């Protein structure tokens, strides 16, 4: 089994198990975790791992952008699209400058998004 096949199977299984609300929460948590790992890689001077973790984080933001529904989401969808693209810009700057400064911004913004997401989904389920 190739890595791509294994990943596709894993993703498909998680999609079947988790609700869309939980998946978004997991993506935000992944961003925070991967940015933290990228920061540690910068601290340890590990360029290869820094690039790896930042690229993984960018991939999550791309997935979030692709999941936006501008017909149903309207202004919120448009706002999130711009916000996600700004975070990708910060990630690329962090990678180019080998600096954790922009990673801290991405972590802060994502923590705020995660908190808001949890609040909104908790109110919808109540």
For residue 7 the two structure tokens come to: 């990943």
- What value does the CA radius of gyration of the chain take, rounded to a whole number of Å? 15
CA distance 32 to 45: 20
pLDDT at 24: 94
The CA dihedral of 82, 87, 88, 90, to the nearest 10 degrees, is: 130
pLDDT at 6: 59
All structural domains of the chain, each given as residue ranges with its CATH number in brackets, are 21-125 (1.20.120.340)
The parts of the chain modelled with pLDDT lower than 70 are 1-17, 125-126
pLDDT at 19: 87
Contact 80, 116 (CB under 8 A): no
pLDDT at 39: 98
């Amino acid at each position: 089994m190739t890595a791509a096949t294994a990943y596709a199977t894993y993703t498909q299984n998680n999609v079947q198990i988790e609700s869309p609300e939980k998946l978004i929460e997991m993506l935000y948590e992944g961003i925070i975790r991967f940015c933290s790992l990228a920061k540690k890689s910068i601290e340890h001077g590990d360029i290869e791992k820094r690039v790896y973790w930042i690229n993984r984080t960018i991939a999550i933001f791309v997935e979030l952008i692709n999941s936006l529904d501008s017909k149903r989401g309207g202004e919120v969808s448009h706002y999130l699209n711009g916000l996600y693209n700004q975070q990708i810009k910060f990630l690329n700057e962090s990678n180019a400058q080998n600096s954790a400064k922009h990673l801290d911004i991405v972590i802060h913004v994502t923590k705020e998004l995660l908190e808001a997401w949890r609040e909104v989904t908790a109110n919808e389920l109540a």
